[in-house]
Amino acid sequence: MNSEIQDDTNQPRPLPVLRAMIDAVDHQILELMAQRNAIVTEVANFKRSNAVRIRDFTRERELLTDRRSRAGEMGIKPDVAESLWRLVLWASRDRQAALRAEVPPNLEGRTIALIGGNGAMGRCFARLFQDLGSTVMVADQDTQLKATEAAACADAVLITVPIDVTLDVIQEIGPHVREQSLFCDLTSIKKAPVDAMLQSSSANVIGTHPLFGPSVHSLQGQRIALTPARIHDGSDWLDWLTQVLEARGMQIISTTPERHDQVMAIVQVLTHFSTEVLGATMAKLGFDLSETIAFTSPVYLMDLYLTARHFAQDASLYANIQHSNESTAAVTDTFARVAADLNTIAANRDETAFNSMFEQVRSFFGEFTDEALEQSSFLIDRLVERT
């Protein structure tokens, strides 16, 4: 037996000694991570100077393959090594984005007016623009600067107010936005706000929808939808906004306002509605929540977390999303009909009908079921680690 592991009497070392040894190894790992971080800084400088994108999927695949192989040779589970290095890679990309690796050296800073900018999403975008060299003016209910004043002198005007007042604010602000300026909104629906910006102003108009909340730890890898509606000849606003968003590692989805709202009826309305039905049903049944948690499976716990997270947030936000989307009734009516059909199948204990339904839905998801099994298993493993 190796003398570094056990002594000559084959007795394990005292636990405090072993823990101290582990601490020492962990501290060495942290020192190596700091060295890696310093090299990442150099990588960011090189990429910015040579116009190289932050994310290199080929490099990442090669790295993960190598780390998995080496881990296996060392007696470490390859899946564990891959999980660790995926986190390391994410941190590396986030570091590079913070160092402005994808910011073109000649990117021009501009004057941005954030109307409603003291809200959570407004503050998020204020930091983004300021970090990239733009000047940000915030006009809100508690500021001396009036929204119309900010709009009149800004290069770009972003509306970041609650959905239920967005149209009123756009109609008030629109006539003050200069023709050569950019007029944007950050709301979860697009057709009505974009139409209002087009009608109330002669400015360049791009609707935007950040597909994330303001509390995210990083903008790296987050998605944002853009719906360009009017770009004047010779204007570089779409290119400029794209460069700014991609410089922080965001993934841009270009679409039309109409298609955006149709898709959001599924992504948001259906998802939120089904979550609300689950939460409201649990509340109506009145079963002891703590007792269900004691018997929980990882999948149930994940659903429970997502449901409770939903109800921990602002009710008006979810209400406005549902009430503002023109496709809401079609989605929720279909939900109710499907729920009624499934209720009938359950009440009749009709296994044949149940199996038929199951196969139809499985066929709808197709090959995505394989990805879903893999990714959800990964999430379940991470959840189990934390509970």
pLDDT at residue number 92: 94
Phi, psi of 156 (to 5 degrees): -135, 140
Dihedral Cα 197, 212, 60, 92, nearest 10 deg: 100
Mean pLDDT, to the nearest integer, of 82-108?
Answer: 88
Mean pLDDT, to the nearest integer, of 31-49?
Answer: 95
Is the pLDDT at 262 greater than 70, yes or no? yes
pLDDT at residue number 8: 54
pLDDT at residue number 3: 44
CA pair distance 111, 114, nearest whole angstrom: 10
CA gyration radius for the chain?
26
Is the pLDDT at 110 greater than 80, yes or no? yes
Is the pLDDT at 4 greater than 60, yes or no? no
Q: Is 116 left (phi over 0), alpha (psi -120 to 50) or beta?
A: left
Per-residue pLDDT band at 6 (split at 50, 70, 90): low
Say if CB 275 and CB 307 are below 8 A apart: yes
Say if CB 125 and CB 208 are below 8 A apart: no
Per-residue pLDDT band at 296 (split at 50, 70, 90): confident
pLDDT at residue number 172: 97
Write the single-letter amino acid at 21.
Answer: M
pLDDT-above-70 percentage for the chain: 98
pLDDT at residue number 9: 62
3: which residues sit within 8 A by CB, 6+ positions away? none
Q: Tens of pLDDT along 176-204?
A: 999 999 999 999 999 999 999 999 999 99
Mean pLDDT, to the nearest integer, of 103-107?
Answer: 78
Tokens of residue 160, six digits:
């970041």
CA pair distance 81, 71, nearest whole angstrom: 6
Domains of the chain: 15-98 (1.20.59.10), 111-255 (3.40.50.720), 261-386 (1.10.3660.10)
Alpha helices in the chain (DSSP H): 15-49, 57-73, 78-98, 120-131, 147-153, 163-173, 191-200, 237-247, 257-264, 271-285, 289-294, 298-311, 315-324, 328-348, 351-365, 368-386
pLDDT at residue number 1: 40
pLDDT-above-90 percentage for the chain: 79
Per-chain mean pLDDT for the chain? 93
CA pair distance 305, 44, nearest whole angstrom: 37
Q: Tens of pLDDT along 65-79?
A: 999 999 999 999 998
Tokens 């004057």 belong to: 111
Q: Which of 119-128, 186-195, 211-220 has the lowest mean pLDDT?
A: 211-220
- Angle of helix 315-324 relative to helix 163-173, nearest 10 degrees? 70
pLDDT at residue number 379: 86
Phi, psi of 140 (to 5 degrees): -145, 180
Per-residue pLDDT band at 174 (split at 50, 70, 90): very high
Say if CB 115 and CB 153 are below 8 A apart: no
pLDDT at residue number 210: 96
Mean pLDDT, to the nearest integer, of 330-347?
Answer: 97
